[in-house]
Structure 1
Amino acid sequence: MKSNNPIFSRSEEFSRPTTNQYGNQTYAGGAPTVGFGEPGSAYPAGSPTHTTGQGAGLMTIDSVVQKTAIALGVVMLTAAATWIMTPDIANLEAAGTLYAALTIGGLGAFALSMVNSFKRVISPPLVLLFCVFEGVALGAFSKVIDASFSTADSGNLVVQAVLGTFAAFAGTLAAYKVFDIKVGNKFRMFVIAAVFGMVGLSIMELILGMFSSSLGLFGFGALGMVFALVGLVLGVFMLILDFDFVEQGIANQLPEAESWRAAFAITVALVWIYTNLLRLLAMFNSD
């Protein structure tokens, strides 16, 4: 299977162009995978456990869920710590502290997301470090939005965004399974191209903002709303790609270490959905 997703395509394990005489796919440049009960297998047919030649376990739904839970747990704990440890927006100095945390966390998360996306051998420590920086950025961003837009009438926008994000995850997963969604190459290429396009526009917006000449993509006007809506839809599309790659990876008997790559990709998609959903909620509740 050849992936157009940069997060997964850097893994050699996701490319297995040939099969052995038993119909099992082989690793790129490696030996064929030996199935249950086949000659040379260390486990007879019906054995409940199967490992790779290096002794590592295989990627499963359970391993992906566990690694994703760890990654999201780090993000949420770091975000909560950032919220608690940073001052409320009461003056320019307090606001400066929050925006500094948002900037440092955002830049660190972006740099590590690029490293993790294009790294051939996934590194769990780098994935968790990304989660730490992402949590700092999300904690600061959420606190700014809450202080600026949450009211007694609107309720807590951060809680609404969190619930909406998990609802989007559950809804997308249900649609993926119930409607048996098949991901084609054209869809993959479109989503990845659109994501990189949005990243490029975001970088351009940040640079223009340094010279007080932004386009308003991060603002709360009409253009900002369109940008957030497109980002929200792309986040859902990213989840569909992630579900497909996890399903294909399990079918291809990838090593358990690749569960961290899947967890990283799912975390990125959920963060993408959360930030855009929180922005939209803020816009709907702005005067």
Structure 2
Amino acid sequence: MALFKSGNPALSEKIFDRTISTPHTDVMTVRGTLNKFGILFLLVMATAGLAWKMAYSGVNIVPYMWAAVIGALVLAFITIFRPQWGAYTAPIYAILEGFALGCISAYYNFAFAKIAPNIITQAVGLTFGVVLAMYGLYRFRIIRATERFKSIVITATVGIGIFYLISMVLRLFGVNIPFIHEGSTIGIIFSLVVVGIAALNLILDFDMIEQGAQRQAPKYMEWYGAFGLLVTIVWLYLEILRLLAKLSDRR
């Protein structure tokens, strides 16, 4: 079962193993997963646009943003532990996540309006570019999801997650880790590394979805696979946005 390792907690080995252990008449396919990802992506774009419009209409979106963030986090955990509910929880997650992303993007756009007026367009474009590039590298087997590759990416991803968690706890006590948010040389290098790790997680996600289809996981895992891929892309977008903000601060 070692094929089913992923740095993305939403696409973990145990979850796929659990669902494959029983026979199913309707099985997961790569095309079906991508179709469902398209639905989730459209929902994200729709609610992100709504949040953006509200922000620039003078509405105080901060309470709504935090409600969306918390709601998306709850839905993410429900989906991870109950993948069979993915057809219901994944779309709701996408709606809430899209609204939160719209709020965050509006904030960055306003904060960097003078020094980087195109920061959101650049972040979106770079995110799409990275996703397509990583898919091409995976599709033509230029980068292979070997066991060693998986282990390195998973270890790095877990390390970043722990580091971010520690920084959040320290901020509660008034202690900031400068290079996470500041545009110093170390800060930019750190962001480049995190963007790289997020991009490499896409390789693991593509492999996970392909392997799930080959091993005939149940049909509802298409929603789950689409959800997991969305989680990684959202993370990638936020890290690229953070990197662009740091680069803009150096101008």
Range into which the TM-score falls when normalised by the shorter chain: 0.7 to 0.9
Give the deviation of 1:163 after TM superposition. 1.2
> 2:135 corresponds to which residue?
173
Are 2:77 and 1:114 aligned?
yes
Over aligned residue pairs, what C-alpha RMSD do you find?
2.6
Select the structure that is richer in helix: 2
Letter in 1 for 2:100: A
Matched AA of 1:83: W
Rg (Cα) greater in structure: 1
1:146-183 deviation digits (Å, cap 9, x = unpaired)? 111133x7442111111111111111111112235321
Q: For 1:77-156, what aligned pairs fall within 5 Å after superposition?
A: 77-87=46-56, 97-151=60-114, 154-156=116-118
Give, as a single letter, the amino acid of the residue that structure 2 aligns with 1:142.
Answer: S
Normalised by the length of structure 1, the TM-score is: 0.75
Alignment-derived partner of residue 182 in structure 1: 144
Q: How far apart in 2 are the matches of 1:178 and 1:233?
A: 19
Aligned to 1:4: 5
Change (3 A) 1:104 1:227: farther
Find the partner of 1:263 among 226, 235, 249.
226
The amino acid that maps onto 2:160 is M
Q: Is the Cα–Cα contact under 8 Å of residues 5 and 12 in structure 2 kept in the other structure? A: yes
Distance in 2 between residues matched to 1:78 and 1:231, nearest whole Å = 27
Structure 2 match to 1:20: none
Q: Which has the higher contact order (CA 8 A, sep 6+)?
A: 2
User: Do structure 1's residue 72 and structure 2's residue 41 form an aligned pair?
Assistant: yes
Moved more, 184-193 or 248-257: 184-193
Name the structure 2 match of 1:61: 30
Q: Note if contact 1:191-1:237 (Cα within 8 Å) is conserved in structure 2.
A: yes
1:32-87 per-residue CA deviation (whole Å, 9 max, x = no partner) reads: xxxxxxxxxxxxxxxxxxxx43xx3x222321111101111111111111111135
Partner Cα distance (1:218, 1:101) in 2: 25
Instruction: Quote the sequence identity (%).
Output: 27
Q: Structure 2: any 5+ residue segments left out of the alignment?
A: none
State the AA in 2 paired with 1:246.
Answer: I
Question: Structure 1: which 5+ runs fail to align?
Answer: 17-26, 32-51
Give the partner amino acid of 1:219.
H
Cα distance 1:13–1:284, how it changes in 2: closer, same or farther (>3 A)?
Answer: closer
Summarize the Cα distance change of 1:134–1:122 in structure 2 as closer, same or farther, 3 Å threshold.
same
The TM-score, its normalising length taken from structure 2, stands at: 0.85
Quick check: 2:188–2:247 contact (8 Å CA) kept in 1? no
